[in-house]
Chain A
């Protein structure tokens, strides 16, 4: 999936809407919010794993985007630029949370936030015991993701969930491609270690 997938299909180009926003057109900004809110929300949700926080952080990110859209020069796509703002907001929040004493992982945390209905496999295809297993795998993945640093978390989710290219991730994170690849290496390694028993039991 490319970052530009949604904007290409859209009737009005992002760049046109951005130009309107730069003249203070809030309706154009509303259109951009509608275009990207779900993608942004899904990414933030998987970083913070709480609906309310994801909602609030996405709002905060969009407000920051509005505030600084006058400075957007179009060197990257609007979405990459927006993604960078969202990542900064989210990574800052995750860091603050850790400083506030959530650094150590609570075994129960991953399990209590799980919505059995949110398991990606269609409900009808699952036998009752399989459904439990899927929810359990989800919980283990959540726990493993939470053990990662915010930067590693962001990189692996952008790559594996959104299917972003290294360059797009680098733009969104404000770092080099080499750093992205290196972070991806360590994030994968850590998750593989944490999920080794899961691989054996699926």
Chain B
């Protein structure tokens, strides 16, 4: 049993069959008022289609490039389906993690000379963002360091674009 709202929507969009349509129209208090509503709803649809644009993404190739880069950096492979045998069960991962940590600690303590460790502590100075905030809730600020490029980026999102008729200077 459809609700009035469901039937009305189907009626406006012309998705009721003739039997359903006749039944729905017979149930209306005022067919004339409903017809006016229907016309208004259809006009709304054409207004949206005419005036709301479907903008094209700018810098689309870079969009792909960044996605692939982030995939390579953060997620080496997608989560595979659970079908088939899974080697990395939780206990195995926990044991492997503990083993790796122990090995890393041992290698660091024994194999890395003290002088190298000291040099690493005084490594070159890189730009850092300690915290960032905005007063405008529409603007977001995210900072990250790009190790490959040795550059720090403050990524501001949600900024209004500068109108093209304004001279940038």
Contacts and interface: CB of A to CB of B under 8 A. Distances in A.
Interface of A: 21-22, 24, 26, 29-30, 33-34, 37-38, 41-42, 45-46, 50-56, 58-59, 62-63, 66-71, 97, 100-102, 112-113, 115, 117-121, 134, 137-138, 141-142, 145, 156-157, 159-161, 166, 178, 181-182, 184-186, 188, 191-192, 195, 198-199, 202
Interface stretch (B56-64, B107-115, B145-153): B56-64
Nearest to A27: B68
Contacts of A121: 50-51
A55 B44 contact: no
Interface string B32-68: 0000010011011101111111111110100110111
A182 B5 contact: yes
A68 B78 contact: yes
Given A26-B68, A66-B78, A112-B160, A51 B55 contact: yes
B44 A46 contact: no
B79 A51 contact: no
Contacts of B9: 181-182, 184-185, 188
Query: Which one of B41, B44, B71 has the highest number of Cβ atoms from chain A below 10 Å of its Cβ?
Result: B44
A138 B158 contact: no
25 contacts: A22-B80, A30-B68, A33-B67, A38-B57, A42-B53, A42-B54, A45-B55, A46-B52, A50-B158, A52-B156, A53-B140, A59-B66, A59-B70, A66-B71, A68-B78, A117-B164, A120-B50, A120-B51, A120-B53, A141-B52, A157-B48, A166-B15, A185-B9, A188-B12, A195-B47
A102 B138 contact: yes
A42 to B, nearest CB: 4
B161 interface: yes
Contacts of A184: 9
B20 to A, nearest CB: 13
**Interface residues of chain A: helix, strand, loop or mixed (majority):** helix
Contact of B157 (A52, A138, A160, A185): A52
A184 to B, nearest CB: 5
Contact of B63 (A22, A52, A59, A178): A59
A178 B3 contact: yes
Query: Which one of B15, B53, B79 has the highest number of Cβ atoms from chain A below 10 Å of its Cβ?
Result: B53
B40 A192 contact: yes
A109 B65 CA distance: 32
B14 interface: no
A67 B70 CA distance: 11
B38 to A, nearest CB: 10
Query: Which one of A58, A113, A181 has the highest number of Cβ atoms from chain B below 10 Å of its Cβ?
Result: A181
Nearest to B4: A185
B48 A161 contact: yes
Given A41-B55, A68-B79, A26 B49 contact: no
A156 B71 CA distance: 33
Interface in B124-169: 137-138, 140, 156-161, 163-164
Contacts of B58: 51, 55
Nearest to A73: B81
Contact of A137 (B51, B76, B80, B157): B51
B57 A55 contact: yes
A120 B52 contact: yes
Cβ-closest 4 pairs across A and B: A185-B5, A42-B54, A181-B9, A181-B6
